[in-house]
A and B are shown apart, each in its own frame.
Chain A
């Protein structure tokens, strides 16, 4: 062994004689293998354990009462979110009012509904007849039986909608406050009154801040509707419960309900993405690409034969 052996580097005269070697990240491979391994084991146990009852799941996944339950869940979500958004805008504007009584009333509302569990509120509305057996709305001659009016469905809409209004008002208020004060000032200088300034100038800009959390709230609401099963509104969860109360196939039916909840929330997430994109208008110099556009761009630029397609379509990037 010649300890004095000297490695002779080949002589380099110009930089383009070097070949580049890409950086390697073995950690990425290791973590990917570990995750795939663990995930595979979990899936295997789920699908080979007969107690999951996948056959039963398949049998009930499109059952009429389950599908009807989804319908009621969706309807409840939509109606309660509409009530929540409208109420939220009204409460947010009230919170920003110059009148201290109006401001305090809105604050009191928000504080009350955020301060009590929505489950308690639902039970409370459901039992309203115990407090007011007849409802007259203060109009003489009107005497309605509370038990007839406050059906489980009505109690559910009232409970979830009024509660949602309190949460939405905070979101809307944050949105309104996020709009630069110069906007209201410019509108005022042009002679646009307060109402129109709010509706045409402030709220549309506040949307960019309001939409993303409202999407989250909608998905949250979809799942919260499961609570109304306690006042026997036949939505998705309650419909599953009715079936397993009869057949004792509890776990498979809970899986049926869960699968549907996941499907619907996934669809809602896609809707949320496009809504956010729409309200980003004017916020950025150009709209970000949708996943489809990104995919199309990928295939356009990576397909060997028609790389000039993109150029012909006038696409950039």
Chain B
């Protein structure tokens, strides 16, 4: 039992190939009071893999994403990120819940991008990027600033370093949010409907940045309704409904040839 906790025993396809497992969920349960939101999720994501989570509203996609970086605690099962149990320390045979500050420290490896960007409006774009690496990783200002400017260049916003978030379009804000998460140099990136709050003509520029990121080898978990993005970029698509994983498989296969009846009706409604 302890054995499986310290090192997630690889059973999925990725583990068989001998690759590093970035995320492993083992029968993860989550409930809010009486409401069961996640009803035993088993999932394994290899390093470098891009996984899209799709499913109807309220199926628990955001909740699963938030359990991965412990923004939500789980009520049952176990979650690992890069071989470490999320939210707990193992001492002997006991799992000790981590204190809030330790949880925060462990999150530095995981970047997250929100639907509503959540940029810090009182800071310039550059300050948004530099804040956490300076404060949390205690890195030197010159070093972080140089990295931040490189990242802004990469997302096509080098000229906006001195602007405030309110002065940017939604698409630009979301690209800043991606750069802000990347500035922590994470191993894993989580995206919760990153384009849902954007005007249709701004969606493309954000998806392009995400596609570049995927091609650079970043491990990504993306909750999205953009089926074209899922088909073109994702290695795997996971379909969730009612707190369960109903079906998963290679993107092209699952989207064009779903096996499960629920997947079929969901895809029919969004495509």
Give A contacts to B, CB under 8 Å: 180, 182-183, 185-194, 196, 200-201, 204-205, 281-285
- CB A194 to nearest CB in B, in angstroms, measures 6
Q: A189-B71, A189-B112, A200-B131 are in contact. List 4 more A-B contacts (CB 8 A).
A: A190-B131, A190-B184, A193-B104, A285-B167
Is the beta-carbon distance between B114 and A196 smaller than 8 angstroms?
no
Docked Cα-Cα span, A200 to B130, in Å, equals 13
Contact B107 A191 (CB under 8 A): yes
Residues of B within 8 A of A188 (CB): 71, 104, 107
Structural contact, B166 and A284, CB atoms closer than 8 A: yes
Chain B 88-120 residues near chain A, CB threshold 8 A: 100-101, 104-108, 110-112, 114, 116, 118-120
Query: How far, in angstroms, from A192 to B100 measured CA to CA in the complex?
Result: 10
A283 contact set on B, CB distance < 8 A: 121-122, 166
* Cβ-closest chain B residue relative to A196: B135
Check A192/B101 contact, CB under 8 A, given A182-B114, A282-B122, A282-B165.
Answer: no
Determine if B136 and A204 form an interchain contact, defined as CB atoms under 8 angstroms apart: no
Given contacts A185-B71, A284-B166, contact A191 B118 (CB under 8 A): no
Q: Which residues of A contact B111 (CB under 8 A)?
A: 189
B164 CB within 8 Å of chain A: yes
On chain B, the residues within 8 Å of A191 by CB distance are 104-108, 132, 136, 184
Sample 6 A-B pairs with CB under 8 A, ordered by A number. A186-B112, A189-B111, A189-B181, A282-B122, A282-B166, A284-B166
Q: In the bound complex, what is the Cα–Cα distance between A200 and B131 (angstroms)?
A: 9
Closest Cβ of chain B to A113, distance in Å, is 31
Asked if B184 and A205 sit within 8 Å, CB to CB, the answer is no
Q: Which residues of A contact B69 (CB under 8 A)?
A: 189
- Give bound CA distance, A192 to B135, whole Å: 7
A196 contacts across to B, CB distance below 8 A: 135-136
Of the four ranges (under 10, 10 to 19, 20 to 34, 35 or more), the interface on chain B belongs to 20 to 34
Tell me the B residues contacting A by CB distance below 8 Å.
69, 71, 100-101, 104-108, 110-112, 114, 116, 118-123, 131-132, 135-136, 164-167, 180-181, 184
Contact present for A282 and B123 (CB under 8 Å): yes
| Residue of B101, B120, B135 touching A186 (CB-CB under 8 A) | B120
Please indicate the chain B residues that have their CB under 8 angstroms from the CB of A186 in the complex: 112, 114, 118-120
Q: A183-B120, A204-B122 are in contact. Are A190 and B164 (CB under 8 A)?
A: no
> Are B71 and A192 neighbours in the complex by a CB distance under 8 Å?
no
* Bound-state Cα–Cα, A192 to B166, Å: 23
* Selected contact of B118 from candidates A185, A192, A204, CB within 8 Å: A185
Which residues in B have their C-beta under 8 angstroms from that of A194? 100-101
- Docked Cα-Cα span, A282 to B71, in Å, equals 27
| Minimal beta-carbon separation of A184 from chain B (angstroms) | 9
Residue picked from A188, A191, A201, most chain B C-beta under 10 Å? A191
Partner of B100, one of A180, A182, A193: A193
Shortest Cβ gap from A231 to chain B (Å): 42
Chain A residues positioned under 8 Å from B119 (CB to CB) = 186
- Flag if B104 contacts A282 (CB, 8 Å): no
Q: Are A185 and B107 in contact (CB-based, < 8 A)?
A: no
Chain A residues within 8 Å of B120, by CB: 183, 186-187, 201, 205
Look across to chain A and name the residue whose beta carbon is closest to the beta carbon of B105: A191
Q: Check A190–B136 contact: CB distance below 8 A.
A: yes
- CB atoms of A190 and B100 under 8 A apart: no
Q: Which A residues touch B105, using CB under 8 A?
A: 191
Q: How far is the CA of A196 from the CA of B122 in the complex (A)?
A: 15
B112 / chain A contacts, CB cutoff of 8 Å: 186, 189
Determine the distance from Cα of A189 to Cα of B167 in the docked complex, in whole angstroms.
Answer: 24
Q: How far is the CA of A200 from the CA of B71 in the complex (A)?
A: 20
When distances are taken between beta carbons in the complex, the residues of chain B under 8 Å from A183 are 118, 120
Q: Chain A residues near B104 (CB, 8 Å)?
A: 188, 191-193
Bound-state Cα–Cα, A172 to B114, Å? 27
Which residues on A sit within 8 Å (CB–CB) of B180?
190
Known contacts A183-B118, A185-B114; decide if A190 and B166 are in contact (CB<8 Å): no
Contact A200 B135 (CB under 8 A): yes
CB-CB under 8 A from B108, the residues of chain A are 190-191
The docked-state distance in angstroms from the alpha carbon of A191 to that of B104 is: 4
| Cα–Cα, bound, A285→B112 (Å) | 26
CA distance A193 to B120 in the complex (A): 15
Complexed CA–CA distance, A250 and B116 (Å): 63
Most buried by A among B119, B120, B123, B131: B120
Lowest 8 A-B CB distances belong to which pairs? A186-B118, A190-B132, A191-B108, A189-B112, A182-B118, A191-B136, A282-B164, A282-B121
Residues of A within 8 A of B107 (CB): 188-191
Residues from chain B with a CB closer than 8 A to the CB of A281 are 122, 164
How far is the CB of B10 from the nearest CB of chain A, in Å? Answer: 28
Q: A281-B164, A284-B166 are in contact. Are A190 and B181 (CB under 8 A)?
A: yes
- Complex CA distance for A191 and B184, rounded to whole angstroms: 9
Chain A proximity of B101: nearest CB distance (Å) = 5
CA–CA, A179 to B180, complex, Å?
20
A116 to B116 CA separation, bound complex (whole angstroms)? 45
- In whole angstroms, what is the CA distance A241 to B238 when docked? 81
Nearest-neighbor residue (CB-CB) of A204 within chain B: B122
